[in-house]
Each structure stands twice: as structure tokens, then as C-alpha cells.
């Protein structure tokens, strides 16, 4: 089975590197980006299954990145990360995000949500799992 590709986007390099390694250990194919622009480039180059996207970044913020990704690749599941409370998340979900997690995240919760996201995408697009 193909490894699930995850793109981690956060301006905090220490956070993304550690989380990426943890996801790798759990069998994900992980890529990282530390800004909105870099994230969009990487999505264009190799579209991931799931994007973990921080809402608050310098330059292009999470919501903008989210709308661009959703415009170009509506099939990609975007899970928002926020340190600021659920209001941000609610806005993001309106814009098409799959879910929203409060930082600091709990890895077990993230695993569950990602599993749910992949299930959903399989249901939506049957036969795309080759």
C-alpha cells in the first residue's frame, strides 16, 4: 500500500521537524514547509493526501493557503492547527478545512483524525487507491 503523504506547514521549524519525524516513525511520507509560499510550491510539485496547516504564519497566513489549496486541489484534506482557540478553526472549516486542532496537539487525536480523513477521501474517490 502507498504511504500516505503528509505536508506539514508551520513557521516554527522546531515544531515541524519534530512532528515530521514522529509521523515518519508512524509510517507516513512526510514533507515540511515553513511558509505559505513554500507550502503551495510543494503542493503543486507533489500533491499530498493531507496538509497539516498552521493558521498563524508570517507572510501568507493559514486561511489564504487553505483557500488556494482548496481551489487547485479540492481533494486534498487540510487539517488546521491553531494556538488561538476554536473561532479560527470554525472559520477555517467554513472555508473547506477537514478539521481543526488546538496546539499543542495530542498525537493520538491527530492519528484518529487523519485516519478519518483518509477513509473519507477513499469513499469520495473510489478506485483512486492504486
Partner 1 sequence: MLTWLRRFFGSLRELPDYAESPQRYKVLRRNIIILMLLVTLVPLFLMGLINHYLYQQTMQDEIVKPLKVLVNKTRHSFEVFLAERLSAVSFIASSHTCEELANEQNLSRIFTAMKKEFTGVVDLGFLDPSGVQVSYDGPYKLQGKDYTEQDWYKETRVRGSYISDVFLGYRKLPHIVMAVERSITGAGSCLGCVLRATIDTNRFTEFIASMRLDPSSDAFLLNKSGVFQTPSKFYGQVLETFPLPLPPLSYEPNVLDIKDNHGKEIMLTYVYFESLPFILMVTKPRSLVMQSWYTLKNEALIVFLVGVVVIFLVIFKLVDKVVKRLEESDQRREAAYREMQETSKLASIGRLAAGVAHEINNPLAIINEKAGLIKDLAEFTPDFSQKEKILPLTGAILQSVDRCRTITQRLLGFARRMDVSIQMLSLNEVIEEVLGFLEKEAMHRNVELRLSLAPDLPRIASDRGQLQQVFLNILNNAFDAVQDGGRVTITSFEADVDTVGVTIEDNGQGMSQETMAHIFEPFFTTKKGYGTGLGLSITYGIVKKLGGDIKIKSQLGVGTTFTVFLPKKASALAGE
Contact between 115 and partner 1 by CB under 8 A: the answer reads no
Contact between 86 and partner 1 by CB under 8 A: the answer reads yes
- CB of residue 95 vs partner 1: minimum separation in angstroms? 17
Which CB sits closer to partner 1, 75 or 109? 109
* Three-state helix/strand/coil letters over the chain: CCCCEEEEECCCHHHHHHHHHHHHHCCCEEEEECCHHHHHHHHHHCCCCEEEEECCCCCCCHHHHHHHHHHHCCCCEEEEEECCCHHHHHHHHHCCCCEEEECCCCHHHHHHHHHHHHHHHHHHCCCCCC
Contact window for partner 1 (CB under 8 A) among 62-70, 71-79, 99-107, 115-123: 99-107
- CB of residue 102 vs partner 1: minimum separation in angstroms? 6
Site for partner 1 in 15-74 (CB under 8 A): 15, 18-19, 21-22, 25-26, 56
Amino acid at each position: 500500500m502507498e504511504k500516505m503523504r503528509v505536508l506539514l506547514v508551520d513557521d516554527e521549524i522546531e515544531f515541524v521537524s519534530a512532528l515530521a519525524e514522529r509521523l515518519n516513525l508512524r509510517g507516513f511520507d512526510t514533507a515540511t514547509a515553513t511558509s505559505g509560499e513554500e507550502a503551495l510550491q510543494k503542493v503543486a510539485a507533489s500533491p499530498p493526501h493531507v496538509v497539516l496547516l498552521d493558521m498563524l504564519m508570517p507572510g501568507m497566513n493559514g486561511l489564504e493557503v487553505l483557500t488556494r489549496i482548496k481551489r487547485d486541489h479540492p481533494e486534498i484534506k487540510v487539517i488546521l492547527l491553531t494556538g488561538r482557540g476554536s473561532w479560527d478553526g470554525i472559520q477555517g472549516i467554513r472555508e473547506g478545512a477537514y478539521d481543526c486542532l488546538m496546539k499543542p496537539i495530542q498525537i493520538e487525536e491527530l492519528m484518529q483524525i487523519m485516519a478519518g480523513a483518509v477513509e473519507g477521501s477513499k469513499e469520495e474517490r473510489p478506485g483512486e487507491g492504486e
